[in-house]
Amino acid sequence: MAEADGAASKKLGLRVQKKLLGKLASKKTVKAVVDDDTYSLIDEVAGLAAAEKDAKFSEKFVKDLIKIVLKIGILLKNDQFDEAEHTTSVKFQRKLNSIVMTFISFYEVDYSLDSAFLVQNVTASREMLHSLIQRHLTEKSHKRIDTVFDFFSQDMFEKLFDPSGPHRERLGRIVALLAKLVDEDKL
C-alpha cells in the first residue's frame, strides 16, 4: 500500500512540476535560467517569427517552444521514459544535431539549400516528438509541437536562405549562435 501511495505522490509531483513550469514559460523567465547564447538564439528566432507573421504569433511560438522543452526536460529528469521512448529521445537528439549542421552548411554555401530535405528532416523530428510525449503529455502539448514545427515550412526555408532576402542578416546571427552552441556541446 505504501508503494502505491509513493507512486501516486511521485505522479502528482510530476504533474505539479509540469504545470508550474508551463505557467512560468516566457522569454523573461527563460533568460534567468539559460545561458546568454541560448537566450539570444531564442530571441533571434522570435524576431524571425515576428517578422514573418506578427508579434502575437511570435509570442505564442516562443511560449510553445519553451513549454515543450521544459516539459520534456522534466520527463527526462524524472526518468519517465521507457526504453523505447528513451531510444526515440536519443534519435531525436541526433536528428536535431544533423538538422542544425545541415542548416549551418546551407548558410555557408550560397544556393546550396535543399528545402525539401530540410522539411523532410523537420517533419521526421516532429513525428519523433509526438511519439515521445504520447503517453505523458496532453493534446495541447501536441498542438504546441505543431505550432513550432509548422513555422519551419519549405516556403520559410526558401525565404530564410535567399542570399538577397530580408532575413539574411538575422540568419547569419542565428547560424553563428547555433555553431557556437554545437561547438560548446550545448545543443
pLDDT, tens digit (0-9, with 9 covering 90-100), for 73-89: 888 988 999 999 999 99
The phi and psi torsions of 144 (rounded to 5 degrees) equal -65, -45
Nearest-Å Rg of the Cα atoms of the chain is 18
CB 177 within 8 A of CB 183: no
**Rounded Cα–Cα distance for residues 102 and 94 (Å):** 12
- Model pTM score: 0.84
Q: Which residue has the cell 510525449?
A: 133
**Nearest CA-CA partner of 15 in 65, 78, 60, 61:** 78
Confidence of residue 112 (pLDDT cuts 50, 70, 90): very high
Q: What is the pLDDT of residue 69?
A: 87
The yes-or-no verdict on residue 1 having pLDDT over 60 is no
CB 158 within 8 A of CB 166: no
Centroid of chain to Cα 150 = 12
Worst-scoring range by mean pLDDT, 22-26, 146-150, 153-157? 22-26
Half-sphere exposure of 168 (CA within 13 A, CB side): 9
